[in-house]
């Protein structure tokens, strides 16, 4: 309410998805659950209704509990040091 008619369509298009508008004005789309991370990036799509809910819960849990410093860290840490031996 109180939003322009194309608000939902513009939001969906900003994530690279689209609705198909039929001649009667109906917007047709498949059942897709979009997972968006805290910074607002589209991270996953779960298509249809036949996926295992546990998979989506695990995916969301991984995003929510991501403890990496989003701005980087002055200390590269032992894992980055270890990977440096192989690259």
Tell me the residue range of the domain where 44 lies. 7-69
Helix (H) or strand (E) holding 14: helix 7-14
The answer to whether position 74 is within a domain reads no
The answer to whether position 75 is within a domain reads no
Q: What is the pTM of this model?
A: 0.47
71 — pLDDT class (breaks 50, 70, 90): low
Domain count, the chain: 1
The answer to whether position 58 is within a domain reads yes
The answer to whether position 80 is within a domain reads no
The answer to whether position 2 is within a domain reads no
The answer to whether position 85 is within a domain reads no
The answer to whether position 84 is within a domain reads no
Q: Mean pLDDT throughout 58-84?
A: 76
72 — pLDDT class (breaks 50, 70, 90): low
The answer to whether position 46 is within a domain reads yes
């Amino acid at each position: 309410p109180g939003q322009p008619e194309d608000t939902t369509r513009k939001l969906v298009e900003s994530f690279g998805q689209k609705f198909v508008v039929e001649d009667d004005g109906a917007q047709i789309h498949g059942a897709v659950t979009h997972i968006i991370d805290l910074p607002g990036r589209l991270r996953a799509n779960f298509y249809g209704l036949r996926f295992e809910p546990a998979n989506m819960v695990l995916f969301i849990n991984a995003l929510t509990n991501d403890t990496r410093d989003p701005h980087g860290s002055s200390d590269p840490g032992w894992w980055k040091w270890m990977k440096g031996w192989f690259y």
